[in-house]
Structure 1
Amino acid sequence: MKKTVDKLVVAGALCLLASCISAPPRAPGIGQPVPWTQLPGWQDERLAQAWPALQSSCQKMPARDARWGELCADAALFPAPDDDTARAFFETRFVAHEVSGSNDTAEGLITGYYEPLLHGSRGKTRRFRYPVYGRPDDLVVVDLGALYPELQGKRYRGRLNNNRVVPYYSRADISNGKRPPDDAVIAWVDDPVALFFLEIQGSGRIRLPDGKMLHVGYADQNGHPYVAIGRTLVDAGLMKLEEATMPAIRAWLKANPEKAQAVLNSNPSYVFFTLREPDSLGPIGALNVPLQPERSVAVDPNFIPLGSPVWLDTSLPGNRDARPYRRLVFAQDTGGAIRGPVRADLFLGFGENAERTAGAMRQRGKLFVLLPADRKIN
């Protein structure tokens, strides 16, 4: 009997030495600090090119996080650093943390978005008959955190009906006539599908018949959840998952006009816009700073703090040799489809190349969040 017990003891010890007892999985989100050498490609990045994005985040972050006050004051001392100076700044002022997804996965989905170009008019015509709505006056936003502290940061959007707040009109409601009044329209466009994708991108430009350009940006949303129409097409057996890229979805909608509206209505979310100054530096993201091409990303703020630097390790579509795409970006936006810890939407700017890349981008990738270092003062 003693020999049996001894064997069990030895077996248990060997099991521990061989890591037979697995460590508990990491919780989704920001994990423990990692050395800079663990960030793939960090030493090769042209970090001076990321400095303007840091300066943009510094416009808002000190009010959100006290640690950013001193950090941004120090950054202001270097208006145009070289790469080595910028790298030294980030390595001394920040600590890198790997972001983990559910089931302890390190990789997640990286997509892209851009500023689309639409054709429209300030007035309704036979050609330009699809409305781009500004924020309607009857949209009510209730701050739930003011009533229930546990719901801090949560808001409910609806409208008043007999002194009761009820859900605002869904996309299907709006397309079927239950819509805001025409005086809420800021422009009329000629393509309902292009208008739908303008909502997904959150900002864009509308070229008027005289050649002038209207710049529009996100103003608000109707409060309904976002549903990806690509998923609708896949679930209906009309498209394979690997085929559900933006160009393919647009092509399907164009080829099936009699079914297009029903597919669009499967996404009840509806976005309202505002006019922005044409000389602004770029579309305004959720952090309320201009987005910068290939330096701004949309993230899920439940996992990654807005304004934070993020090391992005992914690839671009169309690279046959699968060359890595690694760079420092900043979490300056959010989006209805951006949910989960290892999830980012890279802003690619304006123009055909940006549209082409964003439309095809569904890459795997890793994220590392840079959080302010706790600096001790002696």
Structure 2
Amino acid sequence: MTRLLLAITFAISLMTGPASAETGPRYDILDFADLQGWAEDDHAAALAAFLETCGDLDDPDWSALCGLARETDDARGFFELLFRPVLIRDDAEMLFTGYFEPELNGAPYRSSTYRYPVYKMPPEARASRPWLTRRQLLTSGVMEGRGLEIAWVDDPVELFFLQIQGSGRIRFPDGRMIRVGYGGANGHPYRSVGRELVRRGVYTAHQVSMQVIANWVRRNPVAGRELLYHNAAYVFFREVSEVPPEKGPLGAMNRSITPLRSVAVDPRYTPLGAPVWIEKAGADPMNRLMIAQDTGSAIKGAQRADIFYGTGDEAGRIAGRTKDGGRMIVLMPIQRAYALLPEPVQ
């Protein structure tokens, strides 16, 4: 996530009834005792994340729960009393990945150190789909001298991955920080540079990570620049002034997301704003109650989730190596949970 979020997906309306048993997902209602590590989690931290977005859920059932959440002093009791755990499955195995918010070094003006511009979207890019490729945009001079620069950063590789993540923070030399978010794209499909390195035989698939790609590009500056041009897609940004830099970035619900309590899901299966219990396997297992507050272009399926690890390099390293199995259980309002079960055969 890595996540590879481009922040171009949008919230899909909440599920309200069962799908076909033959073609749709399968639902199993569980007990809280079935959730590994449930009793040991910090339910108050999950409730705080839930409150970040529950007020925006335009649905009577969820609105009522949000009101009760604001009044409760027993977080665990709130979830156990008013929700039921629902395991939603399709034909794919569970896959957890991770994503993070990059933090780049930059400045408001160009200098010998800060030479790589973070661009706003020019109007002609909105009018023409697709517009120029990454190579054309960066080599033709079409962006220069137009005041489209939000800031300048010191590392073109970090800027490339900022575009993949879709949002991030830029720290200026005086300590001031700004946050940038997705502001549009040139309309070309994303092409994975990691997959291209595998195709060339430079690495095998299990060796590729964001850090491995970054190190290869830096060791091979000419070939590295050409590798980045392989991805014709280019993301533009906007300054996100409505969110203080010390808070998390905006998720798909247009509210700040919380490190290790927010998760990106496929909203065709998991309602945005819903609590989800994750049981992540792998080298760093995690049993935790999180809130579905984001989406991603690569997050598809009932058992697919992207964990938000936070901001900065360490969060990026953890996110980049996350690729684990396990299971995810959605906490649904009681009446919604039982409505998902198939009708009994007469």
Counterpart CA distance in 1 for 2:270 and 2:141 is 37
Question: Structure 1 residues 353 and 284, CA, compared in 2 at 3 Å: closer, same or farther?
Answer: same
* Equivalent residue number for residue 332 of structure 2: 371
Counterpart CA distance in 2 for 1:197 and 1:77 is 41
Q: Which gives a bigger RCO, structure 1 or 2 (Cα 8 Å, sep 6+)? A: 2
Alpha-carbon RMSD across the aligned residues, in angstroms, is: 2.6
Question: Structure 1 residues 25 and 173, CA, compared in 2 at 3 Å: closer, same or farther?
Answer: farther
Q: How far off is 1:75 after superposition?
A: 1.1
Counterparts of 1:1-378 in structure 2 under 5 Å?
Answer: 29=25, 31-61=27-57, 63=58, 65-78=59-72, 81=73, 85-101=74-90, 104-105=91-92, 107-140=93-126, 159-160=127-128, 166-177=129-140, 180=143, 182-277=146-241, 278-279=244-245, 281-315=247-281, 317=283, 319=284, 324-374=285-335
- TM-score where L is the length of structure 2: 0.81
SS in 2 for 1:43: helix
AA in 2 matched with 1:374:
Q
**CA displacement 1:196-240 (0-9 Å, x = unmatched):** 111222222212233322222233333433333222222222211
**CA displacement 1:150-185 (0-9 Å, x = unmatched):** xxxxxxxxx24xxxxx32333333233375564222
Counterpart CA distance in 2 for 1:93 and 1:228 is 43
Counterpart CA distance in 1 for 2:333 and 2:142 is 46
Q: How far off is 1:288 after superposition?
A: 0.5
Counterpart CA distance in 1 for 2:139 and 2:301 is 33
Indicate the structure (1 or 2) with the bigger Cα radius of gyration.
Answer: 1
Q: Identify unmatched segments of 5+ residues in structure 2.
A: 1-19, 337-346
* Equivalent residue number for residue 155 of structure 1: none
Q: Identify unmatched segments of 5+ residues in structure 1.
A: 1-23, 141-158, 161-165
AA in 2 matched with 1:175:
L
**CA displacement 1:317-352 (0-9 Å, x = unmatched):** 4x4xxxx31111112112233333322221111244
- TM-score where L is the length of structure 1: 0.75
Please say if residues 217 and 276 of structure 1, whose CA atoms lie closer than 8 Å, have aligned partners that are also in contact.
yes
SS in 2 for 1:301: coil
Please say if residues 32 and 97 of structure 1, whose CA atoms lie closer than 8 Å, have aligned partners that are also in contact.
yes
Question: Structure 1 residues 170 and 109, CA, compared in 2 at 3 Å: closer, same or farther?
Answer: farther
AA in 2 matched with 1:246:
M
Q: How far off is 1:29 after superposition?
A: 4.5
**CA displacement 1:292-331 (0-9 Å, x = unmatched):** 01001122333322222111111464x4xxxx31111112
Counterpart CA distance in 2 for 1:56 and 1:210 is 31
Counterpart CA distance in 1 for 2:151 and 2:80 is 47
Question: Structure 1 residues 269 and 242, CA, compared in 2 at 3 Å: closer, same or farther?
Answer: same
Identical aligned residues as a percent: 41
AA in 2 matched with 1:67:
D
Aligned length: 314
Please say if residues 203 and 216 of structure 1, whose CA atoms lie closer than 8 Å, have aligned partners that are also in contact.
yes
